[in-house]
């Protein structure tokens, strides 16, 4: 299976980035069960919709470069628009799977995807919200919280 690399996808700008009603944020540790299923939190299930797309993308310059991305239909269409030439489009489509949830809110990850990304049964995973999509990766260590906003200060410059 060929895997689309992130270098082949145009970097979205704020003007082209899709943020519809489905905005995903936060993270949830999960475990991949012996039948290759992972539970997606209920709020995110509602946002993904009944049918959604799984795409395997290999990120450049990453310790664990192969990741699974889950896109609602509208965000997947916006992503598809950013791909350039014919060979990249073929790779994109062959790296995409249409999925749905079972009655318990689990999604079955296709066997070929498991092999391509190197997941194993009982694997600890991290499901992260990334704005217009979800990212599923191996959880090698608990994620560190890094605030992006400095603590507030008083007019005298002291931290509050």
Within a domain: 10:
no
Within a domain: 53:
yes
Q: What percent of the chain has pLDDT over 70?
A: 68
Going by pLDDT thresholds of 50, 70 and 90, the confidence category of residue 15 is very low
Q: What percent of the chain has pLDDT over 90?
A: 19
Within a domain: 38:
yes
Q: What is the pLDDT of residues 95-133, one digit of tens each?
A: 888 888 999 999 999 998 888 888 998 999 999 998 888
Least confident of 10-19, 38-47, 93-102: 10-19
Within a domain: 127:
yes
Within a domain: 134:
yes
**Domain limits for position 116:** 23-138
- Confidence check: pLDDT of 26 > 70: yes
| Category of 49 on φ-ψ map: left (φ > 0), alpha (ψ -120 to 50) or beta | left
From residue 99, give the alpha-carbon distance in Å to each of 65, 70, 111, 144, 154: 22, 9, 13, 30, 51
10 vs 123, which has greater pLDDT? 123
Which CATH number do you get for residue 41?
3.40.1550.20
- Regarding pTM above 0.75, the answer is no
Give the separation between CA 8 and CA 13, rounded to whole angstroms.
15
Contacts of 121 (CB under 8 A, 6+ apart): 32, 33, 34, 36
Both tokens of 152, joined, read 């507030």
Query: How many domains does the chain divide into?
Result: 1
Within a domain: 115:
yes
Within a domain: 15:
no
139 vs 123, which has greater pLDDT? 123
Going by pLDDT thresholds of 50, 70 and 90, the confidence category of residue 10 is very low
Within a domain: 54:
yes
Q: What is the pLDDT of residue 65?
A: 57
- Confidence check: pLDDT of 14 > 90: no
């Amino acid at each position: 299976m060929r895997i689309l690399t992130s270098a082949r996808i145009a970097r979205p700008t704020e003007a082209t980035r899709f943020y519809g009603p489905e905005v995903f944020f936060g993270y949830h540790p999960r475990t991949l069960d012996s039948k290759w299923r992972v539970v997606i939190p209920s709020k995110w299930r509602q946002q993904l919709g009944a049918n959604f797309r799984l795409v395997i993308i290999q990120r450049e310059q990453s310790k664990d470069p192969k990741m699974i991305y889950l896109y609602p239909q509208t965000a997947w269409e916006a992503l598809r628009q950013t791909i350039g030439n014919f060979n990249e489009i073929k790779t994109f489509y062959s790296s995409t799977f249409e999925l749905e949830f079972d009655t318990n809110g689990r999604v079955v990850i296709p066997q070929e995807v498991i092999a391509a990304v190197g997941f194993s049964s009982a694997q600890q995973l991290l499901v992260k919200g990334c704005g217009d999509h979800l990212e599923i990766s191996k959880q090698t260590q608990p994620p560190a919280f890094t605030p992006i906003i400095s603590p507030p200060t008083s007019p005298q410059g002291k931290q509050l």
